[in-house]
Structure 1
């Protein structure tokens, strides 16, 4: 039953989040913490395992439909690698406190979601495809920070990078999704490896290795859901995708805040 729930959860969240650059892992944390009763760094590692399975097909489809962002993807990936390792180390040490983990996640998700929903009415000009809005150095910094936090909480860097690119830098959602999902996949592969190594050598809180059954079930559902979501997204415009992204993140943050006060 747990595995069936995991497949359904992975499919549902991926279908609505992949088109806007989110892997779905950001919305799977409540499923693991509440419905499946998981806890500790293993929750973050299991989410990263979901990303590793669910993200590649959706990313491939996005790359094929949005060419011309190779340089931006490369900058984000290079920045994400070392920061993902640091993020995993932070999770098994400082963020092993469950209350601190929930509080930090709630505040960040709430703030990012709100920033996307409160937007200016005027449209900012879209930068050229091979010239990031505020320079590749800024993109690297944003991707690195997103990867660090994304590996720590297990949501993948794209869940944080996409709102920054769309809400702050003014990127189109379709453009941000490609770079964000590239960051998510890199963060997930490197972060998952780091968790496994930390658990093997006894560094930090345990268990840090993922629940392989749950993670793979979530990933299989997410793999199918991501393809369905990308197909459906072609019928939506830019503004609905922007508000969908902000609304999903805001609701996630609110759910964690509510959980903290109970």
Structure 2
């Protein structure tokens, strides 16, 4: 029953979040804690496993539709890898306190909610040095997103894309490819780090993912993303974004208050 619940949760979350460009991993964190009963760094690791399973298909589709960012993608992934390792180490040490982690989760949920309620507008950098500003922003933004993404368990793409679009003036399609590739890299490296930390007894336990639940969540997420991408043109984003934003905002407030959702 737990695996079935995880499969359905992954499907439902991805189907609803994909049309508005938000990673289902953000909403699955509260589901794992409040419904599936996971605890400790294993929550973050299991969420990264969800990303590893559910992300490749979406990345392949995006990459076919938006070409010309190979260099930027490789740069972001190269920076993300060591930062993801550091993020996992931070999670099993400094962020092992459940209260501290829940507070950070509340911040991430609230930030994602605000992104939905107040969509990021693309800045159009003009004049000399515009390209340098766009590319110069990439490495620190990808590193920061990977560090936080691995620690929390969201991958980091949902943090990176708004920065590239809003502050760097990137086209949304280009930012989406780089952000999703960063999410996949961060998730794969972070997942490996959590499994290794658990095996050698470094930091708080349990750190290894709940493999069965994570695979079920990811399989459901992959199917849900397919359905969500198909529904994208039929659902009115004017209503869906505020609905999801409000849900995330309320969930973040519950976690900040120290209550179970």
- 1:26 pairs with 2:22: no
Instruction: Say whether the 8 Å CA contact 2:110–2:252 is kept in structure 1.
Output: no
Distance in 1 between the 2:122 and 2:152 partners? 33
CA contact (8 A) 2:76 2:138 kept: yes
What's the TM-score, normalizing by structure 1? 0.86
Show the counterpart of 2:229: 230
| Equivalent residues of 1:103, 1:257 under 8 A apart | no
Q: How many pairs were matched up? A: 254
Q: Matched residues in 1 for 2:229 and 2:132: separation?
A: 25
TM-score scaled by length of structure 2 = 0.86
What RMSD in Å do the two structures reach over aligned CA positions?
A: 2.7
TM-superposed deviation, 1:138:
1.2
Residue 235 of structure 1 and its aligned partner are, at CA, apart by: 5.8
Farther-moved stretch of structure 1 (102-111 vs 146-155): 102-111
Asked whether the equivalents of residues 50 and 214 of structure 2 are also in contact (C-alpha less than 8 Å), the reply is: yes
Give me the whole-angstrom Cα distance separating, in 1, the residues matched to 2:226 and 2:7. Answer: 15
Could you say if the C-alpha distance between residues 30 and 88 of structure 1 is closer, same or farther in structure 2, counting changes exceeding 3 Å? same
Cα distance in 1 for residues equivalent to 2:76 and 2:22? 15
Tell me the equivalent position of 2:177: 178
Quick one: distance in 2 between partners of 1:254 and 1:132? Answer: 39
Secondary structure of the residue aligned to 1:67 is coil
Instruction: Give the ranges of 4+ consecutive aligned residues of structure 1 lying more than 6 Å apart after TM superposition.
Output: none
Find the aligned partners of 1:111 and 1:220 in 2 and give their Cα distance.
27
SS in structure 2 of the partner of residue 155 of structure 1: coil
Cα distance in 1, alignment partners of residues 20 and 146 from structure 2: 17
Q: Distance in 2 between matches of 1:20 and 1:162?
A: 13
Does 2:253 align with 1:257?
yes
Match of 1:103 in 2: 103
Tell me which moved more, 187-196 or 3-12: 3-12
Q: What's the CA shift for 1:5?
A: 1.3
Q: Which runs of 5+ in 1 are unaligned?
A: none
How far 1:226 sits from its partner (Å)?
1.7
Once residues 195 and 122 of structure 2 are traced to their aligned partners in structure 1, the CA distance between those partners, rounded to angstroms, is: 45
Alignment deviations for residues 201-237 of structure 1 (CA, whole Å, 9 cap, x no partner):
1110001000011000001111111222223335679
**Contact 2:122–2:171, Cα closer than 8 Å, also in 1:** no
How many Å separate the matches in 2 of 1:124 and 1:254? 30
Per-residue deviation, residues 102-128 of structure 1 (Å, max 9, x unmatched): 1112124323542564368x864388x
Q: How does 1:33-72 map to 2 (within 5 A)?
A: 33-72=33-72
Matched with 2:84 is 84
After TM superposition, the structure 1 stretch with the greater mean CA deviation from structure 2, 172-181 or 31-40, is 172-181
* Structure 1 residue 251, shift from structure 2 partner: 3.8
Task: Tell me, yes or no, if the aligned pair for 2:26 and 2:109 is still in contact at 8 Å.
Answer: no
Within 1, Cα distance between the matches of 2:210 and 2:222? Answer: 18
